[in-house]
Structure 1
Amino acid sequence: MSRMLTRRSFLSAAGAAAAGLALAGCVNERADGKVEVEIVSYKQEAVSIFEQLQEEFNAAHDDIVLTINSPADAVTIMKTRFVREDYPDVIGIGGDADYANFVDSDILADVTDCPTSEKVQPAYSDILKSVTYVPMEGVYGVPYVANAAGMLYNKDMFASHGWQIPETWDEMIELFEQIKSEEPDIYPIYLGYLDTWTILSPWNSITINMVPSDLAFQVNSGNAKFADYYREPAERMLQLLDYAEPGPFAYAYNDACTAFARGQSAMYPCGSFAVPQILSVNPDMNIGLFAMPSADNPDVRIVVSGVDLQWCVAKTCQHKDAVYEVIDFLNEQANVQTYIDDQRAIPCTEGDYTLDPLYDDIQPFLDEGKVLDYLDHSYQSAMACDAQLQAMLLDGDVDAFLAKWDEDWQRYNRAVIRKVQEYEANQG
């Protein structure tokens, strides 16, 4: 999670030269009288889809010109433009730490009055609200599509062996043991922990079912400690090592995707975002995703799912009606279906959508709104939580891990903790 970016920190990071730049705001009317709406999206992998939607929108509108840019390192470009007070009309980002920082920096407009907001599934509206450091009045983004994480598995391999999807942790360990005995040349799971960020995927999926959903807020409020809740998830992360490739810390994310694609493992604890990489190695692979069975009661299992892309409007925007028309167009069911077909995404709006077969096993969770956001969306990047998890997995010292986590949390979250505690005090 990025360090909190206030207007002051934006300016100091860019240097004194940026401080004197004039307010640019959003572009209004062009010379031809048309209103230009600019979207800057961080989804570079969806460039071709956005180009298609942009062309279709512009062909159907005489009064608005839509421009969608999806540059490399888009968030850095956004922040640079914010420093110069050169805001795009619409900001396409995930429901993550950057979004929380933008809300906190008073950059985004309240879009409660955007008609499309009424179509958003309540679960994803709630997830977006949970990302901000404290409860906020208003709505500051229109969720578009989501992703999900849990356990990816080889459907054809499971079918040929008669392996069943586990619903409890003990059942999953029994399945691991069964795979080891029946197929000694196949690893039950592949991890690829050389890239530390990959450790967060199983950590999120395991832990979300084992701790209070508002644990980070409770810690920031001074009412809880992570050490009181993170021991068992940490021990389960250690347990996974017994069923993975030897020396997983020597293999990177691409290695794990490739190994899983080639049938070297039956499962891969990751998310839907890894599927394109896996299919690039084995286009014919039949991949499924099931909920991590880490809840004590299988009936209360939750799937980790976050807002992968949302539409946020700059507070300086002077033509929200045109922007809302663009957002409504992008969220038309046919256009959302086009996007989710190409990107294997999950729609955040209500509608009769056809999802990729990848999601067949978690469809009931999605239908019932049994989803919660990624825990690491509340982790400060400076705290290097993924590296802390890797160190714990390497040395096996859970006690040291828990002590350091709570100590570093207080150190790296001072500004957030102060904000939360001020909010709590004001609430009485």
Structure 2
Amino acid sequence: MTSSLATTDNESVPDFPMPRDARCPFAPPPQLRELHTEQVRSDQPLTKVRIWDGSTPWLVTRYDDQRTLLADPRCSVDQRRPGFPYMSPSFREVAERGSEPAFLTMDDPEHARIRRMISGAFSIKHVAAMRPALQRMTDDFIDTMLAGPKPVDLVHALALPLPSLVVCELLGIPYEDHEFFQTKSEVGMRHDAGREEVAAAHHALLDYLDSQIEAKLANPADDMLSKLAAHYRDGDLTRRQAASMGLLILGAGHETTANMIALSVTALLEHPEQLAAVRDSDDPKVLASAVEELLRYLTIIHIGNRRIALEDIEIGGQTIRAGEGLVIPSITANWEEAFFPDPDRLDVHRDARRHQAFGFGIHQCLGQPVARLELEVVLGTLFRRIPTLRLATDLEKLSFKNDGIVYGLYELPVTW
């Protein structure tokens, strides 16, 4: 059988990412779901898509195929390789101007070597010890909300400042600098950012982290930047690698979690019976289950993991040639009926632990224990303390981040 999915005819290659349906802002784009359904039903699991620069990498949507390729060492994250399918112009800009690869774009064994240096800070035991401090932070932000006027923008009152404060504490940088790094980080997440704007923002952040590492060399403390500074001093990392690691933690630590908090609150407000289950249960397992289901249901990295084939790879009877790019959107795997029955339904009692919201394989998100903890504390506290919380506008009037690498909300007006 010949499927249109395998076509390389430039006229019929769909653009990626695809637009969402404004009436169903939590669901994957309809066209992407159609492609995924056809791939699941067909014997040809790959199709070409056209990304922002006109190149046509392979789109891989099926759950099992994604896990196979994300775990395959022949699929590289090295953005310096010709043909790599960059997420945005800003990612290409950084790759072209960088003198050495950043951690996220390293393959093993160098990736594993550096990952081991910082993995201890994200261990389950170490993260669990953060809970009391995170609870205090959350309560403080909610206290401020309750004392102020209504309605309030939950993004800027809680969803964004809380992860920013957490990552500042983790890294050991002053919280008063959060507006600077939030603004600069946001530039790199936009598809419409110009080359010079991206370069300026990236180098401003690197310079900032470099200066912080310099300060930690002189006055070390019990924080992540001090550890990175020590690895630089001992010759385990270059100065740029140390700063780049700090930048990765800084950016990923607030941008993704902030959007996940805002979307999770919105989704629960739109599903009152699921919200009631979260708000009214004293069982921590219910809250933990709700977090996993929200991670599956929302999948905020909505434009896909990116890889490039180092060798010819056969999958599902089709061949990915060496040098060809791959786009692997977790959102389709997380909505695959065979693994998550009735995927359109938000069900906080579902066992969604097999989701791929944090990726899969050696490059899956290192900070996922922190993100889970933040979501558990915020959602468990917010609805308990403000049980009458509701949207202050209609869902269709909310401004969703359809134009960014990370899906989320620009603003979330709420009242009670």
Task: Name the TM tier (shorter chain).
Answer: under 0.3
TM-score norm. by structure 1 comes to: 0.26
More strand by share: 1
Structure ID, larger Rg: 1
TM-score norm. by structure 2 comes to: 0.26
